[in-house]
Amino acid sequence: MPILHLAILALVQGITEFLPISSSGHLVLVPFVMDWQDQGPLLDVAVHVGTLLAVMLYAWREIGLMLAGLWRLVRGRIDQGARLMLQVILASIPVVIAGYAVAKYAGGMFRSIEVIGWTTLGFGILLGLADRAGMTVRRLEHMSYGSALVIGLSQALALIPGTSRSGITMTFARLLGFERADAARFSLLLAIPAIAGAGTLSGIELWQSGDMTLTRDAFTAAGLAFVSALVAILLMMAWLRRAGFLPFVVYRILLGGILLYLVYAG
């Protein structure tokens, strides 16, 4: 694949992965807008791996806290780090089950512009309603196992392109009363097992295929996605500490409306 194609895919992935606007939806849209052949899910996951490294770098304190908590949990003690680790694991179970079911029975049936248009619009409006109605009284340390499970169940909806994994988890976290920045922090932590699992399966598939050109393309895209994702995370978190989700809601409504117009107007 030409370097220009890889650079655009990586930039789109890096910018959109952790913003509540759907990275998978945008990656499906790139070949449609640019009149390119669909890059396929394998390269999509490769750029997801680059964003995984970015979020792990940004969330290194929380990761350290959870690993230390896991060690204490093995020794029979539960502290804040152990609870957070268990909550991330609990919230990740639904998307693992749903992801297996979709991969086995649904395949790529959802990768259509019409589906992306409706999910972009609908879940964008839901994000706006949740951000407006949700209280801002709970921090990450106030997370309960029940709240983690609810957010995890919502994450399974992100298997439909256009929904946005970060967007739907932030939406339900806001509905549960979590502050905007803390909703985003928990969403970032949930991205780690979700992306790591998909990246592992993709890596096995790359190895078995023996297609070294695709492997080189995947590594290049992952590196470019890492840089753009880290910048996007820093900017998003800085914004959410002092403002709301309105710009993302407006963007989703406009994008969803344009896509649906293109589909139904021919």
State the DSSP string of 118-158: HHHHHHHHHHHHHHHHS---B-GGG--HHHHHHHHHHHGGG
Closest to 156 measured CA to CA, from 220, 205, 95, 96: 95
Length, in residues, of the chain: 266
Domain layout of the chain by residue ranges: 3-54+110-142+157-265
pLDDT by residue for the chain (266 residues), tens only, comes to: 677 877 888 888 889 989 999 876 787 777 777 777 666 556 767 787 889 999 999 999 999 999 999 988 888 888 999 999 999 999 999 998 988 887 777 665 566 888 999 999 999 999 999 999 988 889 999 999 999 999 999 999 988 889 999 999 999 999 999 999 999 999 999 999 988 887 777 677 667 766 656 677 778 888 999 999 999 999 999 999 999 999 999 999 999 998 899 889 86
**pTM for this structure?**
0.89
Nearest-angstrom CA–CA distance, 128 and 17: 19
